[in-house]
Structure 1
Amino acid sequence: MLSRDRALLSGRRVLVVEDEYFLADDISRALRSRGADVAGPVGELEDALRILDDGLIVDGAVLDVNIRSEMVFPIARELRARRVPFVFTTGYEKVSIAPEFHDVPFWEKPIEIAAMIRGLAGLIGQSRT
Structure 2
Amino acid sequence: MSAVIRKVLVVEDEALVAMLVEDALLDAGFEVLGPAATVEEALSLLDRERPDAVVLDLNLAGETSTPVADLLAARGIPYVIATGYGASGLPPGHQKAMVLAKPYDPGELISMLGRLCAA
Q: What TM-score results when the alignment is normalised by the length of structure 2? A: 0.92
Give structure 1 regions of 4+ aligned residues with deviation exceeding 2 angstroms: none
How far the C-alpha of 1:115 sits from its partner, in A, is: 0.9
Whether 2:105 is the aligned partner of 1:75: answer no
- What is the SS of the residue equivalent to 2:8? strand
Unmatched runs of 5 consecutive residues or more in structure 2? none
How many percent identity over aligned positions?
Answer: 37
How far the C-alpha of 1:99 sits from its partner, in A, is: 3.2
- What is the SS of the residue equivalent to 2:93? helix
How far the C-alpha of 1:35 sits from its partner, in A, is: 1.0
**1:47 aligned to which of 34, 38, 41:** 41
Partner AA of 1:59 in structure 2: D
Counterpart position of 1:112: 105
Unmatched runs of 5 consecutive residues or more in structure 1? 1-6
Q: What TM-score results when the alignment is normalised by the length of structure 1? A: 0.85
Counterpart position of 2:50: 57
- What is the SS of the residue equivalent to 2:80? strand
How far the C-alpha of 1:13 sits from its partner, in A, is: 0.5
Whether 2:116 is the aligned partner of 1:123: answer yes
Q: Is the 8 A contact 2:55 2:80 kept in 1?
A: yes
How far the C-alpha of 1:116 sits from its partner, in A, is: 1.7
- The Cα offsets for residues 62-111 of structure 1, whole Å up to 9 and x where unpaired, read as 00010011111111111111111100111223222113111111111111
The size of the alignment, in residue pairs, is: 117
Alignment RMSD, CA only? Answer: 1.2
* Partners of 1:29 and 1:82 in 2: CA distance: 27
